Amino acid sequence: MQLDVETLKRAPGVFARFDLTAELPPFELQGEEVSFPGPVKAGLVVNNTGSAIVVEGEVSGKLKLVCSRCLEIFDYAFEVPVRETYAHMPENGGGGMLYLSAVIVIDITPEVVRSIILSLPMKAVCREDCRGLCPRCGCDLNKDRCNCENEDIDPRLSVFKGLLEKLNH
Percent of all residues in the chain with a pLDDT value above 90, rounded to a whole number:
25
Band of residue 4 on the pLDDT scale cut at 50, 70, 90:
confident
pLDDT digit string (tens) for 120-149? Answer: 988 889 999 998 888 888 888 888 888 876
Domain ranges of the chain: 2-119, 131-169
β pairing state of 27-29 and 32-34: antiparallel
Higher-scoring residue by pLDDT: 154, 83: 83
**Can you tell me the distance from the alpha carbon of 26 to that of 64, in angstroms, rounded to the nearest whole number?**
10
Whether the CB-CB separation of 32 and 66 falls below 8 Å is answered with yes
Whether the CB-CB separation of 133 and 142 falls below 8 Å is answered with no
